[in-house]
Structure 1
Amino acid sequence: MSGQDSRKPFVCPRCAARSWHPVDKQEGYCGRCKAFTAPPASSDTIAVYALLAR
């Protein structure tokens, strides 16, 4: 088993999607909704996710 399996996932409060990516959890970003669930920690993060969502 990988160490990742023992950690709790980030669960989107809007759609209940799960993510084990540490940045998604840290920034409160849902890849399914393509939206932040909370204000992002930095403006750099906003720019990166905006590019990825294109």
Structure 2
Amino acid sequence: MLHFARWKIAVILFALIGGIIVSLPNLFSDERLAGLPDWLPRQKIVLGLDLQGGS
């Protein structure tokens, strides 16, 4: 059976939770972002023209 060191699991979970927290502003509207706690990031990721569908 596979065995992973606890510190490796902790690092992976920390990175996963951090990524989720950073991506949260993209899922909410501006009105909902105003109601979130101050410690959460509020900037949305700006997509380039290639991802927006522009030419």
- The structure that has the greater radius of gyration is 2
Judging by fraction of residues, say which structure has more strand. Answer: 1
Give the alignment's TM-score, normalised by structure 1: 0.24
User: Highest relative contact order (Cα 8 Å, sep 6+), 1 or 2?
Assistant: 2
Give the alignment's TM-score, normalised by structure 2: 0.24
